[in-house]
């Protein structure tokens, strides 16, 4: 890292110190060198940034983001938090943990979807963390349900702070957290100029922050976001809104950005049959990384994102002499809620492998 980059990091961190923040995450998270995986795929060098190890109820990228999001909530006098999503939402689980740590009542509106019964995985953890859980129908609008709850809470004299889909301020603050995460990553690299690409599961904020960080340091790093959901999902953020999110986060930091639509590589080709439905490619990726590196992924977010990275390597879209970082955003409790499709796929794959071995 050169002196100009060090100076930029120092200057931005000084601005970050002016932002309200609560301390929740175990930072810095490790950067693992995946030598066996790299050898198996014949290069490029693959590193994993372990943001699944941020601590706080199984960790994940939202723990890092909640330091800034809930810092603002506390500064604004919030006395409770509101979030809603799928029953197995990683965001909801991490928010409930943060709320418990900060002494803020957390209201969750999980959907009564296919993975709400029996209660297990993330949904089980939500209950253990003391969240006030108000389920909604699988077909209901989460954004509308959150808005209705906020109105009721305000009428009761409460001061709720809304996170997740539809909460623009919270999404921008979440992006700010990943500018700092990019700086942390670069400082862990032997040579940040060799950071050729970053792949991660993303719906907007995480990728936006990484892009700003790379721009500020003058890095030509590709930041590839692999979306877990398609454009028809309520939580989908259109590309123009991702650009707006980038600019809102830059404004919070007091920096300028030239990032536009053409700079955002957001992929939808690994969604599979839809959000919350494991894909064969994703399950293959989970088994591959577990077998070679002892690192686990989840079937809804990181498994699909890692499948995108593996596919690009095998197709020759990434030069074998490059260095790629996979940002692991967590989500591991969902493995248990999806135990049947996961173990079924593993058994089927092993059966085929054994059959081929005997041919």
Taking the alpha carbons at both ends of the chain, their separation in whole angstroms is 53
Band of pLDDT at residue 350, cut at 50, 70 and 90:
low
Residues 6+ apart with CB under 8 A from 300: 88, 228, 275, 276, 278, 331, 334, 338
Q: Give the model's pLDDT for residue 351.
A: 52
Angle subtended by helix axes 168-188 and 3-16, to nearest 10: 150
Helix (H, G, I), strand (E, B) or coil at 110: strand
Reply yes or no on whether the pLDDT at 356 is more than 60. Answer: no
| Cα–Cα distances in angstroms (integers) from residue 155 to residues 148, 151, 152, 164, 317, in the given order | 11, 6, 5, 22, 55
CA angle, residues 246, 52, 7, in degrees to nearest 5: 50
pLDDT tens by residue, 218-270: 999 999 999 999 888 888 888 899 999 999 999 999 999 999 999 999 999 99
Mean pLDDT, residues 71-91 taken together: 95
Q: Write down the mean pLDDT value for the chain.
A: 93
Do 3-58+174-352 and 61-162 fold alike per CATH? yes
Q: In the structure encoding, which two tokens stand for residue 226, read together? A: 């692999």
Positive/negative CA dihedral, 318, 221, 291, 293: positive
Please compute the mean of the pLDDT values over residues 99-125 and round it to a whole number.
96
If DSSP codes are grouped into helix, strand and coil, which group holds residue 173?
Answer: helix
DSSP tag of 57: T
Asked if residue 103 has pLDDT above 90, the reply is yes
Burial of 126 (0-12, 13-18, 19+ CB in 10 A): buried
Just list the catalytic residues: 89
Of 66, 26, 12, nearest to 175 by C-alpha is 66
Q: How far is residue 77's CA from residue 25's CA, in Å, rounded to a whole number? A: 22
Considering the chain, what percentage of its residues have pLDDT values greater than 70?
96
Average confidence (pLDDT) over 120-131: 97
pLDDT of 86 reads 92
Three-state SS for 323? strand
DSSP output for 240-259: HHHHHHHHHHHHHHT-----
Candidate from 146-160, 165-179, 199-213 with smallest mean pLDDT: 165-179
Residue 279 is predicted with a pLDDT of: 96
Identify the CA nearest to 94 among candidates 68, 120, 55, 133: 55
Residue carrying the six token digits 């609008």:
141
What residues does each domain of the chain span? 3-58+174-352, 61-162
- The predicted pLDDT at position 352 comes to 47
* Prediction pTM value: 0.94
**Rounded CA separation 64/122 (Å):** 18
Residue 113's contacts (CB-CB under 8 Å, 6 or more residues apart) are: 86, 87, 138, 276
> What does the pLDDT average to over 143-157?
96
Which CATH architecture best describes the domain 61-162?
3-Layer(aba) Sandwich (3.40)
pLDDT digits (tens, 9 = 90+) for 295-337: 999 999 999 999 999 999 999 999 999 999 999 999 999 999 9
Q: Say which DSSP state 22 is in.
A: -
| CATH of the structural domain 3-58+174-352, one choice from 2.60.40.1220, 3.30.450.40, 1.25.40.10, 3.40.50.1100 | 3.40.50.1100
Provide the pLDDT for residue 358.
Answer: 47
Which tokens belong to 303? 């498994």
């Amino acid at each position: 890292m050169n002196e100009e980059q060090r100076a930029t990091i120092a200057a931005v961190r000084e601005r970050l110190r002016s932002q309200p923040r609560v301390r929740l995450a175990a930072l810095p998270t490790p950067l693992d060198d995946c030598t066996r995986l790299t050898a198996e795929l014949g290069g490029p060098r693959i590193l994993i940034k372990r943001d699944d190890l941020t601590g706080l109820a199984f960790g994940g990228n939202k723990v890092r983001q909640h330091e800034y999001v809930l810092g603002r909530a506390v500064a604004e006098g919030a006395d409770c938090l509101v979030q809603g999503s799928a029953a197995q939402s990683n965001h909801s689980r991490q928010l409930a943990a943060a709320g418990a740590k900060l002494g803020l009542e957390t209201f969750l509106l999980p959907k009564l979807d296919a993975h709400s019964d029996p209660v297990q995985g993330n949904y089980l953890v939500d209950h253990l963390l003391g969240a006030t859980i108000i389920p909604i129908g699988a077909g209901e609008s989460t954004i509308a349900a959150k808005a209705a709850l906020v109105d009721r809470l305000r009428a009761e004299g409460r001061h709720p702070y809304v996170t997740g889909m539809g909460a623009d301020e919270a999404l921008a603050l979440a992006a700010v957290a990943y500018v700092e995460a990019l700086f942390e990553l670069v400082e862990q690299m032997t040579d940040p100029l060799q950071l050729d690409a970053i792949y991660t599961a993303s719906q907007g904020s995480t990728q936006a922050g990484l892009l700003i960080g790379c721009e500020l340091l003058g890095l030509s790093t590709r930041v590839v976001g692999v979306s877990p959901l398609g454009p028809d999902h309520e939580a989908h953020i259109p590309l123009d809104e991702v650009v707006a999110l980038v600019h809102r986060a830059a404004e919070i930091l007091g920096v300028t950005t030239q990032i536009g639509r053409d700079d955002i590589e957001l992929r939808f080709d690994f969604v599979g049959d839809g959000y919350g439905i494991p894909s064969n490619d994703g399950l293959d990726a989970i088994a591959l990384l577990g077998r070679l590196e002892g690192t686990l992924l989840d079937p809804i977010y990181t498994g699909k994102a890692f499948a995108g990275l593996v596919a690009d390597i095998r197709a020759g879209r990434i030069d074998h002499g490059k260095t790629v970082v996979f940002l692991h955003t967590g989500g591991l409790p969902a493995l248990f809620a999806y135990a049947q499709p996961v173990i079924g796929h593993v058994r089927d794959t092993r059966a085929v492998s054994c059959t081929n071995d005997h041919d």
